Structure 1
Amino acid sequence: MKKIKEYGLITLGVFLVAISVTFFLKPNNIAAGGTTGIAIIINSFFPALSVGLLMLIMEIFLYIIAFIVIGNKFGAKTIYAGLMLAGIVGVLEKINPNNHAVTNDLFLAAIFGIFISAIGMAIVFNQNASTGGTDILAKILNKFFHLDIGKALLIVDFIVTLFAAASFGIEIGMYALFCVIINGFMIDYVIEGLNMSKQILIISKNYKDISKYIINDLNRGCTVFTGTGVYTNSSGYVLYTVLNRKEFIKLKNYIKEVDRRAFITVSDAHEVLGEGFKDIVGEN
């Protein structure tokens, strides 16, 4: 069941990226890095070769090179995502044979295209996968030139945007570079939102009832600390737990019922790893 959910989310993420490519970026010649950007550039010179087909050819070629040069470091989910992206783009191109764009305004196309793409990529990354392509080229640069992966990714995408500028003009090339820069920030922002949890400290005389509710009803763990109030000089217990937003609302409503004088502090946890949340070591 877990695998079905993971691959379902990867498929959803890839579908969003494909929507962005087919209806926003490609019709406006915005080659925003990666194998997608390369495919858009090649397609402009050889229209008979669809973007989806070009992406599929490049993905297969790059995976073969990766296995030869850097070994088997790309998991099944990454291979699935890369090939699925090429396949979905190919299908959408059949649905949109006239290369119709949702908008021909370059600014709007860049903003909405990269927004939709970033959400899709974040969903894929959040499942410990990627769409391959640029990642593979970056890892090859890392192996032979000892560049950091982040810098290698930026170099690859920057080179693609230079070719975009040479092919479609400086203005479109600048939009492509703008998309490359914004995309990274947006992906990080969306991933933080997807993984956001609440870490909660509770001081209450009814800590036993609250802890039982957390364990039995919310199916979460909690930790109890002993503490002493400096102002009152009285000892008590402090509960610590981490919950998602929905669970926190349930807990807050429960605490209202059992102890209206409870003291609660809540802060955002941008990422939580461990039992009940995201695995510390995820597989690709």
Structure 2
Amino acid sequence: MNFQKAVAVIVGSFLVGIGINGFLVPHHLIDGGVIGIALILHYFFSFQTGLSMLVLSIPIFLYAWYYERPFFYSSVHGLLLTSLFMDWLNPLKKVFSISILTSSLIGGVIIGMGIGLMLRYETSSGGTDMLAKIISKSTSMDIALAIIVIDTLIISAAAFTLGIEIFLFSCVTIVIIGLVTSLMKVRE
């Protein structure tokens, strides 16, 4: 791994950890994909978000091992660091006291920057980033659109337990994440 990619993985993972813990968790907002499932497990069962993300990503990483090995090698560092930062930065959930709308917007921008930075250097935090990369590579679908579709499916499945307000603000967050991710990729 070259120096720029290593910095992108560290900074991107750190940004995702800040966005999740500082802005989504205080309002029980959901990101999509593997992180979203890990957040649901955290909200309902008090599981560690990062550890849950790590365990849930195993099937996707096994698939990548066989079909996208270079991306597997690039992303395993992102998965490990993002999981670590998500659990390490958990105390941030008590730091910011802002509205749910502001949290969904700021959290979406920060997470999107982290994911976009990693994707710009052909790495990711694993999970649905990796799945979206695989879908994007095998179809003509933009990676940001693939992320939005996957994320929307995840939060739609969880909508009945979270309530309509949380669901709607989570949708705002996911759209912002997708847009910022796309902007970060365009700036290559």
Q: TM-score, normalised by structure 1?
A: 0.58
Deviations along 1:169-218, whole A, 9 cap, x unmatched? 111111111111122222233444xx4xxxxxxxxxxxxxxxxxxxxxxx
Richer in helix (by share): 2
Query: CA separation of 1:108/1:154 partners in 2, compared to 1, >3 Å: closer, same or farther?
Result: closer
Determine which of 53, 56, 74 is the counterpart of 2:54. 56
C-alpha distance in structure 1 between counterparts of 2:108 and 2:83, whole Å = 18
How far did residue 138 of structure 1 move?
4.2
Larger Rg: 1
Are positions 1:130 and 2:124 aligned together?
Answer: yes
* RMSD (Å), alpha carbons: 2.8
Q: CA deviation at 1:105?
A: 1.3
Which residue is equivalent to 2:89? 92
Aligned AA for 2:150? V
Could you list the runs of 5+ residues in structure 2 that have no partner in the other structure? none
Give CA deviations for 1:124-162 in whole Å, capped at 9, x if unaligned. 12212122211344467789xx79464543332111121
Q: Which of the residues 79, 83, 94 maps onto 1:82?
A: 79
User: Contact 1:28 / 1:104 at 8 angstroms: preserved in 2?
Assistant: no
Structure 1: segments with no counterpart, 5+ residues: 196-270, 272-284
Measured at CA, do residues 7 and 141 of structure 1 come closer, stay the same or move farther in structure 2, by a change above 3 Å? closer
Q: 1:111 aligned to 95, 101, 105, which one? A: 105
Where has structure 1 moved over 4 Å in runs of 4 or more? 138-143, 146-152
How many residue pairs get aligned? The number is 187
2:19 aligned with 1:20: yes
SS at match of 2:89: helix
For 2:77, the aligned partner's letter is: Y
Q: Distance in 2 between matches of 1:171 and 1:34?
A: 19
What letter corresponds to residue 100 of structure 1 in structure 2?
Answer: K
Larger relative contact order, structure 1 or 2 (CA cutoff 8 Å, min sep 6): 2
Determine the C-alpha separation between the residues in 2 that align with 1:114 and 1:83: 21
Alignment of 1:169-248 (within 5 A): 169-192=163-186, 195=187
Deviation at 1:36, TM superposition (A): 1.1
Q: Tell me, in whole angstroms, the C-alpha distance in 2 between the residues paired with 1:50 and 1:109.
A: 21
- The answer to which structure has the higher strand fraction is 1
Separation of aligned partners in 1, 2:34 and 2:109? 18
Amino acid in the other structure paired with 2:13: V
Percent identity reads: 26
Q: Give the partner amino acid of 1:88.
A: F
TM-score of the superposition, structure 2-length normalised?
0.84
- Give the 3 Å change call, closer, same or farther, for CA 77–187 of structure 1 in structure 2: same
